[in-house]
Structure 1
Amino acid sequence: MSLKSGAPGAGRSGLARLGPLPWIAPAVVLILLVVLWPVYEMVHTSFLRISTSGFVRGSAGFDKYTKLFGEPDFYGVLGWTVIWTVVVVALTMVISLALAQLFNQQFPGRRLTRWALIAPWAASVLMTSIGFKWMLDRTAGVLNTAMTDLGLIDGPKDWLGDPSTAKPWMVLIAVFVSLPFTTYTLLAGLQTVPGEVYEAARVDGTGPWQTYRLITLPLLRPALLVGLVINLINVFNSFPVIWGTTQGGPDSATATTTVFAFQLMNTDIGESAAMSVVNFALIVVMVLAFLKVSRWNEES
């Protein structure tokens, strides 16, 4: 009886030789089509002169970036975007952490309250924003009617027409629609903490605050980082909340960089693309800086 000799894997089928490639190929193609190709087109468009009707009139070099940085509203929009992102993400994380700890306890009606929290998540963000817009409407809004009847205000107030009152309401709406995902992310993290750890802490005489600081927060760190990163990206790129309430107005007083890019598209497509490139670069830098500071890969 003879033994066949040959290189290892010589008898493997052609599909087997490809290894994991057939399985990951659809994902790679999807990333190329949905992520990398639009990014390339966005950067390419920012260096072109394009008419409002969509016809390319030649290369613009860096003129669109020069024009963008010379816009009188640019730095105000950039500043408000930073404030908007920090305030919304901070409030979302703090409130979600409190809600997650509440929902992690046993109390009557816990299942019902958990279901109720899903409502803002299940509904469209744009639909929720438009609902708040009608509630805050100057002439037909229920808020003005209720506050006038209670004697809290002398007459109808244009809540969304004045940036000083529109911005707090926009923050409130953004936090409202961000709570479900973040709360459930942190709740899932809390439920992975072994009960034996808390039992050992009680045996050692560790107080509630020390237990929370030394055990709960460190073990909750992966869920906190996921919630923070996702919220940073979502809030920074938020469009439906702002467009559904104020459309960035009056002028660009309540616009973030994402909404500002959309506003610029009506007058200069190339400049709008330049704003999108700047926006994309800011997101990448922000996320990379955050992950470095938080030492994502460091073992706790």
Structure 2
Amino acid sequence: MAVHDVTVSAAGAGHGAPAVPETPPRPRGRRRLRAWEPLLWLGPATALILAMVVWPVVEMIRTSLTRVSSTGLSQGFAGLGNYSDLFAEDDLPGVLLRTMIWVVGVVAVTLLLSLGLAQLLNSRFPGRRLVRWALIVPWAASVLMTALIWRWMLNYFYGVVNRVLMDLGILDAPVNWLAHPRQAFAAMMGVAVFVSLPFTSFVLLAGVQGIPDEVYEAARVDGAGPVRAYLGITLPLLRPSLVVAAIINVINVFNSFPVIWAMTRGGPGFATDTTTTYLYKLAFDNQAVGESAAMAVVNFTLILLVVLVYLRVVRPREDT
């Protein structure tokens, strides 16, 4: 039987292996259709981005280069006239300075407090789930409603803040918190931090929970204490979450309109305005639509510059 098998194999080898039938080429039309298949998935998202992001930006830039009447009629190409009028405004330097203080202050305080809250919510204690739910409330509530509530709480006559501080003996007389620009601006920054904490805290909490316990166990074996473990392990591994939280907060705080408008309307005068409320006043109070569009372009450019500078600073550290 073995001899027979060898003979058959040798004979087969002599005649050569049977040829494998080749797959017939697909028609050119079907190949073209398959090449366009990704558009079925990317098309709706691309159309949404073009309609909701790209087109408004193009219109904003076009309007900033157009002379627009107080009634909203286009009066032709204005060149850089709207930009020259904008930079000639006496209030613009103060608005830009307050905007940078607003963004840096709110984002920095939010990140610092959120780091502590994330660490607290990651530890085990009675009522942890209830605390997590309570932290979501400022995020779930309307920002405008939250700002109006704080405005009532800071009211000179019947505000609860004055009443509590007077009962505790901290104040001898009520304070008109929103009447003075510096106090009003500080109060608005506090409200902006309050509404920004939930999202930032949960982003950092997700980052903390993604750190393996084995890393901390290895650090304890090497003799690292809690502070050293936090600075050497937690913060470096939290850097991706911190980058995401910081960028989103910068964009949100830069464009924060409801908090300022509900509490002070940028007043008195332009004393508590940022770029967002200032461009609104240019458009609807001063009827300078083209100048307002130029302010919107400047605001958009500032946001991009801040984000790019932040990424430029953070990326080398990530590579290291």
TM-score using structure 2 length: 0.88
Match of 1:231 among 244, 249, 252: 249
More divergent stretch after superposition (232-241 vs 183-192): 232-241
**Cα distance between partner residues in 1 of 2:218 and 2:61:** 56
Amino acid at match of 1:159: W
**Cα distance between partner residues in 2 of 1:250 and 1:50:** 28
1:215-226 superposed matches below 5 A: 215-226=233-244
Match of 2:313 among 284, 293, 297: 293
Amino acid at match of 2:104: V
Percent sequence identity is 54
Alpha-carbon displacement from aligned partner over 1:100-144 (angstroms, at most 9, x marks no partner): 000100011111111110010010011100111111122332233
Label 1:154 to 1:218 Cα distance change in 2 as closer, same or farther (>3 A).
closer
Label 1:207 to 1:251 Cα distance change in 2 as closer, same or farther (>3 A).
same
1:191-210 superposed matches below 5 A: 191-210=209-228
Match of 2:130 among 105, 112, 115: 112
Match of 1:274 among 287, 294, 298: 294
TM-score using structure 1 length: 0.93
Alpha-carbon displacement from aligned partner over 1:225-251 (angstroms, at most 9, x marks no partner): 111111111111111111111111111
Residue matched to 2:180 = 162
Which structure 1 segments of 5+ residues have no match? none
Matched, 1:31 2:49: yes
Shift of 1:207: 2.3
Number of corresponding residues? 300
**Cα distance between partner residues in 1 of 2:33 and 2:316:** 37
**Cα distance between partner residues in 2 of 1:183 and 1:61:** 45
**Cα distance between partner residues in 2 of 1:177 and 1:296:** 31
Amino acid at match of 2:179: G
Matched, 1:125 2:134: no
Match of 2:114 among 96, 101, 108: 96
**Residue aligned with 2:75, SS:** strand
Shift of 1:14: 5.8
**Cα distance between partner residues in 2 of 1:202 and 1:156:** 52
Shift of 1:81: 0.4
Shift of 1:209: 2.2
**Cα distance between partner residues in 2 of 1:203 and 1:2:** 62
Match of 2:69 among 32, 51, 57: 51
Compute the RMSD of aligned alpha carbons: 2.2
Which structure 2 segments of 5+ residues have no match? 1-18
Alpha-carbon displacement from aligned partner over 1:258-297 (angstroms, at most 9, x marks no partner): 1111010022000000000000011111111111110079
Find the structure with the greater CA-based Rg. Answer: 2
Amino acid at match of 1:108: P
Larger helix proportion, structure 1 or 2? 2
